[in-house]
Amino acid sequence: MTDCVLVYPIPSKDSPAKGPALSIFYIGAMLEKKGFEVEYVDGRFDNPNRVFDLIKTNPLCVGVSAMTGVQLLEAQRILKQTKAINPEICTVLGGVHPSLLPYQCINEESVDVVCVRDGEYTMVELLNKLKSGDSLESVDGILWKEGAKVIQNKERPLSNLDDLPTPLTKKTKRYYKVAAEAGQVRILSSRGCPHKCGFCFNQVYNFRRWRAMSIEKFEEELQLLTSELGIDNIILGDDNIGKNMGRLQHICDLLRAKGLTWHTGIRCDYMSEDLTRMLDEAGCRSVFLGVESGSDRILSDIIDKQYQNGVDDIRTCAKNLSKTSISGMYSFMCGTPTETRQELKMSMQLADWIAKTDKKARISFYVYAPYPGTRMYQAAIREEFIEPKTIEEWSRVTLSSGRVPMMENLYYISGLTFRKDKTSKNFPGWKRSFIKPFELAASWRWRTRLINHYWEKPLVKYLISRAALSKSMEE
């Protein structure tokens, strides 16, 4: 009999991400190791009926993962359906969003338990209690309901990564195979980050603590992934891969020895000439860089990015990358609290400079989305952000939909101007002719900075959503 169904609802309607759903696989691997019967559902790949067929087998528990945005609404729908099928099944909501807003989430009628932060040990203890029929009062790291009363148990310390079984198991392998085919297998060598960027979940979720697995454990997991999946390409999904440079060098040695090409995210100020060369020689082919802004004031006073030389650190990074075969994905964030029109123009100027300096640069402008519990959240509320009060309202907070329409315009205009890689994937071959006129118009708008009245936007949005839909149907 199934003890637990773990669900990863579809995270976005138009994202091509096919990476493994580590949020539930880590938990499932621990449950499997402890002898529980686990089934997995990934909303991106499984038949929509699978989750309900599994719920009808009456598992002890249905655990659903959610981050802020689209995934949250889908999570709510599944939890409601679970209760409609069998109100006796214990429903658990976990993930980044419920960890940041546990009280709002536990007040959802269809949620019995909210798991705060890491779920591996919490779920083992919870399932043991459900099996024995005992009270949940001694399970650390949860909020739960006793009748009409909400009870918050003791906080659970963050897990030691060396104690966690690898998320690739016999049952998760089929999802890993999809990721492998798409070149999107992800591995984590550490979690958390010691920096204090005011928009990031890390300051609240990980208490700005960086925790790493030992190099031996990393090597073991890497070996398992490469031998089981036959991959020659991997993504290091750490929040901060460069926190310990000696360790990163060790990781580079391991990746090079395996002949893997790889991708990661890294802070711009870490990208010295030596480090950039080291990554290049070790097979790194792309890095995601949180540039955020071209204004020193925004970087230091609003975000607190902790760059010693402000925007100059970003320029140095772009110059160093331009001498290598690594492609940088430079991510800007517009609409941060107190950002002026002039400062936004500074970001656009920096983007132009990067595009000229580093020919392989890919550049995206996202709209700042205020996430609960973060330092900049209060500043956003002081401006004009209306605090969402329900799961439905939170599900509409995304990185492309601006509170100010002009910001949303910039997301599409910069995308069509600088993300030819994305456009050619979405509109392959002759299909490119549909979007071509809008690409030309967007480049002209970018150059002339005419971003206020973007009358083509509804058409562009329509074409992109159609392209994403037809691509997912083809696949």
Q: What percent of the chain is helix, strand and coil (3-state, nearest 5)?
A: 45, 15, 40
Shortest reach from residue 433's CB to ligand B12, in Å: 26
- Is 399 a binding residue for ligand B12 by CB under 6 A? The answer is yes
For ligand B12, the binding residue among 9, 59, 95, 337 (CB under 6 A) is 95
Binds ligand B12 by CB under 6 A, chosen from 22, 182, 355, 406: 22
Alpha helices for 323-452 (secondary structure H): 341-357, 375-383, 391-395, 405-418, 420-426, 432-448
**444: which 2 tokens?**
């002209």
Site for ligand B12 (CB under 6 A): which residue of 120, 358, 408, 456?
120
State which H helix or E strand residue 457 sits in: helix 457-474
Region of residue 378 (left: phi > 0; alpha: psi -120 to 50; beta: else): alpha
Contact flags string 365-394 toward ligand B12, x per CB under 6 A: ----x-x-----------------------
Under the criterion CB under 6 A, does residue 38 sit at the interface with ligand B12? no
CA distance linking residue 413 with residue 455, whole number of Å: 12
**CA angle, residues 160, 164, 166, in degrees to nearest 5:** 140
Token pair for 353? 């400079």
C-alpha span between 28 and 295 (Å, rounded): 44
How far apart are CB 148 and ligand B12 at their closest, in Å? Answer: 23
Residue with the two structure tokens 């550049």: 363
Single out the segment in contact with ligand B12 by CB under 6 A; choices: 61-69, 276-284, 294-302, 443-451.
Answer: 61-69
Q: How far is the CB of 105 from ligand B12 (least distance, A)?
A: 11
Q: Which of 213, 207, 198 is nearest to 160 (CA)?
A: 213
Using CB under 6 A, which of 153, 169, 378, 398 touches ligand B12? 398
Assess 43 for contact with ligand B12 (CB under 6 A).
Answer: no
Structure tokens at 410: 């910039």
Stretch that binds ligand B12, among 67-75, 268-276, 344-352, 376-384 (CB under 6 A): 67-75
Q: Give the x/- contact pattern for ligand B12 in 155-194, rule: CB under 6 A.
A: ---------------------------------x------
Which residue's C-beta sits nearest to ligand B12?
94
User: Is there binding between residue 12 and ligand B12 (CB under 6 A)?
Assistant: yes
Part of the chain binding ligand B12 (CB under 6 A), chosen from 10-18, 52-60, 298-306, 403-411? 10-18
Smallest distance, ligand B12 to C-beta of residue 118, A:
4
Q: For the chain, what is the total number of helices (H) and then of strands (E)?
A: 20, 15
Amino acid (one-letter) located at 24: I
The span from the CA of 115 to the CA of 44, in Å, is 23
What residues line the site for ligand B12 (CB under 6 A)? 11-12, 15, 17, 19, 21-24, 26-27, 63-65, 67-70, 92, 94-97, 99-100, 115, 118-120, 122-123, 188, 200-201, 237, 239, 369, 371, 397-399
